[in-house]
A and B are shown apart, each in its own frame.
Chain A
Amino acid sequence: MLPKDVNITNIKASSKAAGSAMQGFIYGQIFLQVFMKGSMEDMWGAFFSLQLLCQLTLYGIPIPANGEMYVEQFRKLVDFDLFKPNNILPMIHKGWSTEYFIGIS
């Protein structure tokens, strides 16, 4: 639950912007480093830290709602949301989805 004076729309917009910026930064870095043949170790270090950060919600400890919103956005990055089959398969064939191939509803 958010404190009284906090505007949920602003927080959501801010967390989304942070998530998008982080995604843009990481994907951009991957793209550039692949072509420039540079080391991506530092970037992977940040990525692995974010992975742990996103799994903090597994713990039975309440975290502030605004923090959770940021974690949600970062999770999109560490889960490679951009490459989710459900975003790509319908572009190849209408009606295709992960559920369709696995056979679950």
Chain B
Amino acid sequence: MESTGIQSGNVIYNMSTFIFMGLAAFAVFALLSVLLLVKKFHDKVKAKLVDILKKTFFNNLIRSHSISYIHLTVSFSIVIYLEMEKKEAINLKQIAPLIALGVLPLFLLKVLLSKRETLDTLEIREKIERLYQDIALTRNSWTIYYHPMFLLRRFCFVVIPILMPDYPIIQVIVLSIINLMFVMFMGAV
């Protein structure tokens, strides 16, 4: 487990850096909200807060999630791996977060598909552009699948070796197939 950089079987401990950074961002918001009460700063701070919420909040949330996704997947997979090592039954409570992480790319795909027609508008770009940044939306109808595929690939990349630790050959074969499929996808769109 140490070779993966994971120090504990505790997910909160493993994610402490990301939680800490999230709390720091929340503290900044709280501080700005307190400044709203001060008449002198009220107008300036309100404009800034509205701007942040409108333009960067969702995009930064998406980016933060993309950054922490692989670490989160490793942390939840390690919990299951430790249970498997102890030869104990895995309950739904342990496996549910991992399933949720696996399903999340599909949810993002649903969001993208439902907004396909409006993705290029300023309003949507300001909110969720990080889901399709630098992607040519008109070149191919498959291009918007990039971000969900990107997350799904990372999910498989991490989950397969952790949940099949005794089968290195299968790990490598699956890794090669996933990489090949991703390259094919990139080449095709």
Contact = CB atoms under 8 A, between A and B. Distances in A.
Interface residues of A, number: 27
A48 B154 CA distance: 10
Looking at chain A's contact residues, the main secondary structure is helix
A70 interface: no
A31 interface: no
Contact of B74 (A58, A61, A80, A104): A58
Looking at chain B's contact residues, the main secondary structure is helix
B152 to A, nearest CB: 13
Given A52-B154, A104-B13, A58 B20 contact: no
Contacts, number: 72
Interface string B150-189: 1000100110011001111001100100000000000000
A98 interface: yes
B16 A79 contact: no
Given A48-B150, A81-B17, A88-B20, 13 more contacts: A52-B154, A55-B70, A57-B4, A58-B158, A58-B161, A59-B161, A59-B171, A80-B17, A84-B20, A85-B17, A86-B16, A98-B13, A98-B16
